[in-house]
Amino acid sequence: MLDTLTHIPSFNSLLQTLKESKHPKLFLIDLKDFTKLNLTYSDEAGDFVLKEFALSLTNFAKNNNMSAFRVQEDEFALIKDIPFDLKTIEKLLFLVIDFIKAQKYNFNKEEITIKAHMGICLDQNNLLKKAQKALKIAQKENQPFMTYSDFVNILLEEDEERICTLLHDSIEDGTITPYFQKVINLDKNTLYQEALIRIVSKNGVIPPKIFLNIAKEKGFYTQIVKLVIGKMNSIKEAKAVNISCSELFDDELYQIYTEGFKNSNTVFELQNEECLHNSRLPEKIAELKKLNIKICLDNVDNTSYIKDLEIEFVKIKGDLIRLLQIDANAVSTCKKIISTCKEQNIKTIATHINSNASFEEAQKLGFDYYQGFYFEKPTCIVTE
């Protein structure tokens, strides 16, 4: 059962392989903006890319003991028949991502670069349907990949009006709650606990990805901040709050944050954004220090921001940590950041540590502190 254009196994072959596999892990790949590619370069170019991608995907699959398929049009699939093992799946995922990034084709002296979205299912049942749901969310959120979970179902089901109702009710009921995840050293001593906002509803704990952007767009955000600060101040231990750098230049929010957290053993984790180049940022940081608020620069992937700021901590971007086992460039980047931070007496934090392998690789580089699901899931420690 071969596909007529690419001559690799077809959709029917995919279905048969799923039935015959004991522990199938499915990676569904959709080539991004393929219609635009056809319009830009011609249908002939589109067919050429599909055939070349199929050939490269087949070779990749053979080298990694996988099976490759063309599902439909610009959609392909990979299957790996193995029992679940987080370390193995993580390595395989980043191998697939790196493979896709490397795809470039020359057609009539034009270089065509391939990008893709990917939906992944690691369950045993209804793999194709679940992978399709995950792919739909990856496309909607413009993410390179999404793994199927209950969270994916929520994203598919929720709409803006329902989320606004949820936000209104959650603010009224006070069910918007900070969950906390520790940042620790090698001796498992806690540096601080990072607050991660959640809505605790009758349907379960809802993460911010579902509601936070709409909260900002529809005017709920300031109320949420006030509610969360009130709950966080019952925690006397060192804690951290995520703040968009732009919020420091919003007069109302800045006053709420500073009044709420001054002299309260709090770290502000500033997101790595364009406004970090704002000439007034050093002045803002100096003001925060006078209020005994410490600063952590979050999602750092290079050294360009670090040298100009008087900060206590740097948290390395999670993508770099996840790639440490398989990407020499990620290792080199982390080494440079750690070296720069040591020169300036800034402590480094390796985040998104989700496996022992990631922890071991981060230890080798000499990070000062660590955070991730490998140590603990975020938990609610606020008591009403």
Looking at mean pLDDT, say which of 33-42, 89-98, 171-180, 304-313 comes out highest: 171-180
Classify each residue of 254-285 as buried b or exposed e, where b means 16 or more C-beta atoms within 10 Å of its C-beta. bebbbebbeebebbbbbebeeebeeeebeebb
Residue 364 has pLDDT above 70, yes or no: yes
For residue 220, what pLDDT band results from cuts at 50, 70 and 90? very high
Which domains can be identified in the chain, with CATH numbers? 11-154 (3.30.70.270), 159-370 (3.20.20.450)
Predicted pLDDT at 80: 94
* Strands of the sheet with 116-121, listed across from one edge: 67-72, 75-81, 24-31, 116-121, 145-147
CA 123 to chain centre: 21
pTM: 0.67
pLDDT digits (tens, 9 = 90+) for 1-41: 788 889 999 999 999 999 999 999 999 999 998 888 878 88
- Residues of the chain with pLDDT > 90, as a percent, come to 48
Non-local CB neighbours of 30 within 8 Å, separated by 6+ positions: 74, 75, 76, 116, 117, 118, 119, 135, 139
With CA atoms as reference, report the closest residue to 348 among 329, 326, 377, 320: 320
Residue 149 has pLDDT above 80, yes or no: no
CA angle 226, 380, 258 (to 5 degrees): 30
pLDDT digits (tens, 9 = 90+) for 248-301: 999 999 999 999 999 999 999 998 666 677 788 888 999 999 999 999 999 888
pLDDT digits (tens, 9 = 90+) for 164-189: 888 899 999 888 999 999 999 999 99
Residue 383 has pLDDT above 60, yes or no: no
Residue 207 has pLDDT above 90, yes or no: no
For residue 382, what pLDDT band results from cuts at 50, 70 and 90? low
CA angle 352, 355, 356 (to 5 degrees): 125
